[in-house]
Structure 1
Amino acid sequence: MPAGRLPGTEHEERSIILHVDMDAFYAACERLQNPELEGKPVVVGMGYEPGETIGAVATASYEAREHGVESAQPISKALDLLPRTARNPDTEPVGYYRPVDLEFYEDVSADVKAILHELADAVREVSIDEAYLDVTDRTAWEVAEGFGRHVKQRIAREVGVPASVGVAPNMSAAKIASDHDKPDGLTVVPPAELREFLDPLPIEDLHGVGPKSASTFHEMGIDTIGDLAAADLETITDQFGERGRELHLRARGIDEREVEARGRPKSLSRESSFSQPTADIERARARIDELAGAVATRATEKGALYRTIGIKVIEPPYELHTRERSLSGPVDEPPLVAETAQTLFDEFEGKSVRKLGVRVSNLSFADNDQADLASWTDRTAHESGDSSTEIRGQARIESFDRSEPTE
């Protein structure tokens, strides 16, 4: 082992881990639907309507946080700090409050996660707005900053929401790095600079240290991550048990956890925005064919069968429509993806579109699943006594009416 290298870090020096954290995610999603909210203090939560007395803040935009509004804060306190109306809006802050639209946020999250799964060999989805990526075999430390920037740019360009990205040799350090420069930040910490990066940071920044633990550390004279790294391990474990040992290792830049996927993806999708909204039907249909081909190829590569094919159409400024068709059973049939997507798009002919997407969902990966379309149509015809090869599916239409923002 080379001199100066910590035990157990041989793998970490090779590993390149990204932590992707969507900034004020719910508020960013609301801005997708209402671009006029850009730059304004947005609060997403419940209980702010007249007559409601109980509620909490789910997410506050960074502009709202400047006025003291925070996640999990009682909505009554948020309204005191940032009222919905003001006598003089030119000089007094006005908050823009929105109810939680979880279905829409999950849809946006799925678009982000689809990009992450495409860019990494292993993705660990932590929450609706957070994930770890192992890109060790996709890039090198010499160009890791460019790779991290590419991740951010694809999310911003294809989905339209900001993300902060941390790049480091392990999961703990990557999490700290993504929190280091928010919002819309990129922090890269190569192995040789890990301790230099960690040591001066406040102990509260160490992943796994909450307010109660931080208070105890301060009482012990441990104020920075470097203080913890230099502290006596036995003293730390006496106070915190085995969890203290883990925190002590993280403070020294050691975290041997691997990025392991939690289950398989529920859907696969590809989306593309036009530089300017277009009503050119041929251009739109050509784009759908491209997206359908990319999605079908990706499903085949992953060994995924799909029972549902759908499209997403966004009209300016951000009016979202989705259309889906459910099939009789799971298939792997690329031509069907394009054909179905084009059929679902028929009703939008002549309309101006800003963004298009194609998705396959209701995925299955079992080896004995039927992967051939003809087999499904033959079986359906046999069971029904119908010799037709028409796919029996019912389109599920979902239109989302988005109200205009109110102060």
Structure 2
Amino acid sequence: MSDRGGSRLPGVGDEREERIVLHVDMDCFYAACERLREPDLRGEPVVVGMGYEEGENHGAVATASYEAREYGVESAQAIGSALERLPRKAEGDSTDSSGADSEDGADGEDEADVAGYYRPVDIEFYKSVSTDVRAILHDCADTVREVSIDEAYLDVTERTAWEVAEGFARHVKNRIEREVGVTASVGVAPNMSAAKIASDHDKPDGLVVVEPGTTRDFLAPLDVAEIHGIGPVTARTLREMGIETAGDLADADPRTLVDRFGERGRELYHRARGDDERRVTPTGRPKSLSRESAFTDPTTDPEEKCARVSTLAAAVAERARDRDAMYRTIGVKVVTPPFDVHTREQSLPGPVDDPELVEEVALDLLAEFDDDRVRKVGVRVSNLQFTESDQTSLDGFDAPSGTGESRTADSSDSADDPKSSAEAADDGEKTDEGVHRTSRKRDGQVSLSDF
């Protein structure tokens, strides 16, 4: 039904204009971020723990890489239990001495040789990587619904057509991997619930397309627990009713489901049949607008860096104007090898719409890194104010051009991080009915309710 490089389920004739919805789900996101910072971790078992400190045995697993899962490490597991299955690699050990990547694989290794890398959650760093991903998603779609730090829905109906939807989704995937350095699995379908199931269908690094007219056939053989909105308790109740698969649920008497689950039973019945009328709605206006670009090879050439930042500044200012947005803060992001993120910002005395000022301030902030070897640069405007009235430039304020408090930081500024942003800080399982403050597992990663 699918293959790792991308799969398309055969379509049937359907003349109706169907929406094209993408669900983008980052693969083992926290572990992927740690590998950005430490490239030597690629291919190694990586465990990221919440409430965990280096060398300690307390805390819980937030995410485990696919390599770590081979040894029985799972999200939400106590770190102590994880260590029993996958001991911590001693400081200074090489990958060869651990045996973690020996030819025998997990089943043929001596337990004494198995070891993994344990890292504490660094949510600020993960947010900075998520910001990079979000910028790509907003550039590729007119409507983006960010539901967590590593998950979003895109409505791309106006950007592409079903005949080339797979290629468009592959373009999104490739941009994320090329420009940010992490992988995503993408599901494409006519509605949100089917797109989400499709993105989970071929992880990691998967691409599954469910064309109009094929959704019910795609869902039918799946375990009922895979239907969006069905948790373990509901799945257990359905199985007690003899409903094991999505096909069983689609064939069930909806009146029986309503009697047992209320109106939610009717909703689950329709989703099992591939019917989901929910629209992809934005989670709110953006708190910032940014564009970033990576160099093919890290560069120390000041002119090359300045030219790239000037281009990005113009693009960001144009995006802000297109969205009727003025901005109070202008900043740059500079990434130096291996993956050290630096941000510099300048606050203005009032909101402006001034492309020339964006370039001027961005280049001034970039000057600090003239001598540094740089792998990526970015420009951001934040503290946005949306208006459709006449916009102003800085000259309309009392303060002279270029004044304002200058702030520096080595992580993403909080101006970009309210819960409506892609951080959505994993407040728990999100549904249209509200936010349930729970810890949940998705792609082996626990959602954290306390960030």
TM-score (norm 2): 0.81
1:392 deviates by 2.3
Q: What is the letter of the counterpart of residue 47 of structure 2?
A: V
Of 83, 89, 95, 2:98 maps to 89
Aligned length: 382
| 2:243 counterpart of 1:222 | yes
Structure 2 CA distance for aligned equivalents of residues 291 and 240 of structure 1: 52
Structure 2 CA distance for aligned equivalents of residues 114 and 211 of structure 1: 34
Report if aligned partners of 2:361, 2:402 keep a CA contact under 8 Å in 1: no
Structure 2 residue aligned with 1:176: 197
SS of the residue 1:78 aligns to: helix
Structure 2 CA distance for aligned equivalents of residues 40 and 52 of structure 1: 20
Structure 2 residue aligned with 1:142: 163
1:53 deviates by 5.6
Q: Could you tell me the percent identity over the aligned residues?
A: 64
Structure 1 CA distance for aligned equivalents of residues 214 and 58 of structure 2: 47
Of 165, 168, 183, 1:162 maps to 183
Q: How does 1:283-362 map to 2 (within 5 A)?
A: 283-362=304-383
Structure 2 CA distance for aligned equivalents of residues 194 and 359 of structure 1: 40
Structure 1 residue aligned with 2:410: 399
Structure 2 residue aligned with 1:385: none
| 2:98 counterpart of 1:109 | no
1:157 deviates by 1.3
Cα–Cα, structure 1 residues 104 and 216, in superposed 2: closer, same or farther, change >3 Å? same
Unaligned runs of 5+ in 2: 1-11, 100-108, 412-451
1:46 deviates by 3.5
Structure 1 CA distance for aligned equivalents of residues 62 and 401 of structure 2: 46
Structure 2 CA distance for aligned equivalents of residues 51 and 318 of structure 1: 23
Structure 1 CA distance for aligned equivalents of residues 15 and 325 of structure 2: 35
Higher mean alpha-carbon deviation, 146-155 vs 77-86, is at 77-86
1:51 deviates by 8.1
Of 74, 83, 87, 1:70 maps to 74
1:63 deviates by 1.4
Structure 1 CA distance for aligned equivalents of residues 67 and 55 of structure 2: 26
Cα–Cα, structure 1 residues 375 and 25, in superposed 2: closer, same or farther, change >3 Å? same
1:336 deviates by 0.8
Cα–Cα, structure 1 residues 352 and 341, in superposed 2: closer, same or farther, change >3 Å? same
Structure 2 CA distance for aligned equivalents of residues 369 and 329 of structure 1: 15
Report if aligned partners of 1:48, 1:79 keep a CA contact under 8 Å in 2: no
Structure 2 CA distance for aligned equivalents of residues 68 and 161 of structure 1: 24
1:142 deviates by 0.4
Structure 1 CA distance for aligned equivalents of residues 44 and 241 of structure 2: 42
Q: What is the letter of the counterpart of residue 183 of structure 1?
A: P
Structure 1 CA distance for aligned equivalents of residues 388 and 251 of structure 2: 52
Report if aligned partners of 1:273, 1:356 keep a CA contact under 8 Å in 2: yes
Structure 1 CA distance for aligned equivalents of residues 54 and 175 of structure 2: 40
1:366 deviates by 3.8
1:266 deviates by 1.0
Report if aligned partners of 1:291, 1:358 keep a CA contact under 8 Å in 2: yes
1:35 deviates by 1.0
Report if aligned partners of 2:23, 2:188 keep a CA contact under 8 Å in 1: yes
Structure 1 CA distance for aligned equivalents of residues 169 and 221 of structure 2: 24
Q: What is the letter of the counterpart of residue 171 of structure 2?
A: H
| 2:76 counterpart of 1:55 | no
| 2:139 counterpart of 1:128 | no
Larger radius of gyration: 1
Report if aligned partners of 2:89, 2:117 keep a CA contact under 8 Å in 1: no
How big is each residue's C-alpha offset from its partner over 1:182-225, in whole Å with a ceiling of 9 and x where there is no partner? 11111000012212211111111111111111111111111111
Structure 2 CA distance for aligned equivalents of residues 180 and 85 of structure 1: 32
Cα–Cα, structure 1 residues 284 and 335, in superposed 2: closer, same or farther, change >3 Å? same
Report if aligned partners of 2:394, 2:401 keep a CA contact under 8 Å in 1: no
Report if aligned partners of 2:52, 2:121 keep a CA contact under 8 Å in 1: no
Cα–Cα, structure 1 residues 115 and 48, in superposed 2: closer, same or farther, change >3 Å? closer
1:158 deviates by 1.4
How big is each residue's C-alpha offset from its partner over 1:73-110, in whole Å with a ceiling of 9 and x where there is no partner? 21211121211137961252212111111111111111
Structure 2 CA distance for aligned equivalents of residues 21 and 46 of structure 1: 21
Report if aligned partners of 2:219, 2:247 keep a CA contact under 8 Å in 1: yes
Unaligned runs of 5+ in 1: 381-388, 401-407
Report if aligned partners of 2:50, 2:61 keep a CA contact under 8 Å in 1: yes
Report if aligned partners of 1:328, 1:391 keep a CA contact under 8 Å in 2: no
Structure 2 CA distance for aligned equivalents of residues 343 and 142 of structure 1: 46
1:350 deviates by 2.3
RCO higher in structure (CA 8 A, sep ≥6): 2
Structure 1 CA distance for aligned equivalents of residues 145 and 392 of structure 2: 27
Structure 2 CA distance for aligned equivalents of residues 195 and 98 of structure 1: 41
Structure 2 CA distance for aligned equivalents of residues 369 and 81 of structure 1: 63
1:49 deviates by 4.0
Of 29, 37, 40, 1:33 maps to 37
Q: What is the letter of the counterpart of residue 55 of structure 1?
A: G
Structure 2 CA distance for aligned equivalents of residues 332 and 122 of structure 1: 23
Structure 1 CA distance for aligned equivalents of residues 350 and 369 of structure 2: 27
Structure 2 residue aligned with 1:262: 283
SS of the residue 2:278 aligns to: coil
Report if aligned partners of 2:395, 2:401 keep a CA contact under 8 Å in 1: no
Structure 1 CA distance for aligned equivalents of residues 213 and 267 of structure 2: 21
